[in-house]
Amino acid sequence: MGRDHAFGNVAIVALGDEPAVLNVLEAWFIDEWPGWYGPDGRGEARQDLEQCLQPAARLPRCLVALDTDGRPLGTVSLRDTSPGSDLYPGAWLTALLVHRDFRKAGIGGDLIAAAERQAEQLGFPEILTATATARSLVLKRDWLLVETLQPESGPLGLYRKVLAADCPPA
């Protein structure tokens, strides 16, 4: 699947189809979320990304936006854990990240759309996300605010989008 952008035709592929970009994504995660993935954080960027390479696993999944030269532009993951997943089990859109050099060009929206399609293909009736920064992106794609979580790090909007019209939200 591709769409034309200022950077040429952008393709969105599974990380497993382009594992060579794993090192770049790992560096981006550490740079973007140093409190979680940095030296003093509890997260392990490489481990989180490598979990997406397990072909038999339903989740997690990682998608990567690539330009025509195979250069990564952004990424998004589907996981079953996220802030709020204890309240609402299911498929969670997480780790949405467009490199700062490629933002404001529609790539984030394309990644969200691809994650929605992937969740629906996996049989999930809905998709959820908890975000403090991507509110406008999910609202443009018809996600609805379910509630606002109040973790120590600051308020997070919890959003849901029903994917299959014949399945009620879980």
170 found inside a domain: no
Specify if 101 maps to a domain: yes
What is the average pLDDT across 22-29?
97
Q: Residue 4: which pLDDT band, with cuts at 50, 70 and 90? A: low
**What was the pLDDT predicted at 166?**
55
26, 50, 93, 142 from 84: Cα distances, Å: 24, 23, 12, 20
Which is more confident, 68 or 169? Answer: 68
DSSP 3-state of 11: strand
Number of separate domains in the chain: 1
Does residue 132 form part of some domain? Answer: yes
For residue 151, pLDDT beyond 60: yes
What is the distance between the alpha carbons of residues 137 and 112, in angstroms, rounded to a whole number?
8
Work out the average pLDDT over 67-87: 93
Residue type, 37: Y
Does residue 167 form part of some domain? no
Residue 133 reports pLDDT greater than 70: yes
Omega cis (within 30) before 155: no
Give 153's pLDDT tier (boundaries 50, 70, 90): confident
Distance CA 31, CA 41 (A): 12
Can you give the CATH number for the domain in which 125 is found? 3.40.630.30
Question: Domain containing 148: what range?
Answer: 2-162
The pLDDT, as a whole number, for residue 149 is 86
Q: What pLDDT does residue 164 have?
A: 77
- Whether 115 maps to a domain, the answer reads yes
The mean pLDDT value of the chain amounts to: 90
Distances (CA, A) of 55 to 58, 65, 67, 93, 129: 8, 19, 24, 19, 23
Domain assignment of residue 72, yes or no:
yes
When mean pLDDT is compared across 6-10, 24-28, 74-78, the lowest value belongs to 6-10
Q: Per residue in 41-66, pLDDT tens? A: 999 999 999 999 987 788 999 999 99
Instruction: Answer whether residue 168 is part of any domain.
Output: no
